[in-house]
Amino acid sequence: MSISLREINGENFHEVISLKVEKYCASNLYSLAQAKIYPDAIPLAIYNGDVLVGFIMYGIEPRDNNEYWIDRFMIDEKYQQNGYGTKALQILIETIEQDKSHDKIKISTNPENTIARKLYARLGFCETGELHDGEALMILKY
């Protein structure tokens, strides 16, 4: 497994917007449109070697005390249950943790998405008991 996070550009745009996941996630096309409107959002393609397997978007949220948020995260349905999501999140967390002017990362998911909640908990995110836009809020302090 050789997971990397890469810029989305003209060469991989159509493939990124074609990724699919059954439920719980906004479309990647919608997320890329948001990134255009909100310049603090950083959308990235998740690759295993040269194979596109997922999408992640993060950034500092100026409307939330300039906290880091992982806004979107998905692994295409064909590539789930292979550890790609865990590794991609670990890479992103390590990247964010280099910014010593912050001390936490927020993420949220549909309360019914037990697989995601377990994954986030394994990586150190703690449930807050709060809902953010109807989703279960989790925080990782570093």
Q: What is the pLDDT of residues 60-75, one digit of tens each?
A: 988 778 899 999 999 9
Q: Nearest-CA neighbor of 8 among 61, 44, 33?
A: 44
pTM value? 0.93
Q: Domains plus CATH for the chain?
A: 3-141 (3.40.630.30)
Helix axes 84-97, 114-122, angle to 10 degrees: 50
Which tens digit of pLDDT belongs to each residue from 90-132? 999 999 999 999 999 999 999 999 999 999 999 999 999 999 9
Greatest Cα-to-Cα distance within the chain, rounded to the nearest angstrom: 41
Task: Give the chain's count of helices (H) and strands (E).
Answer: 4, 7
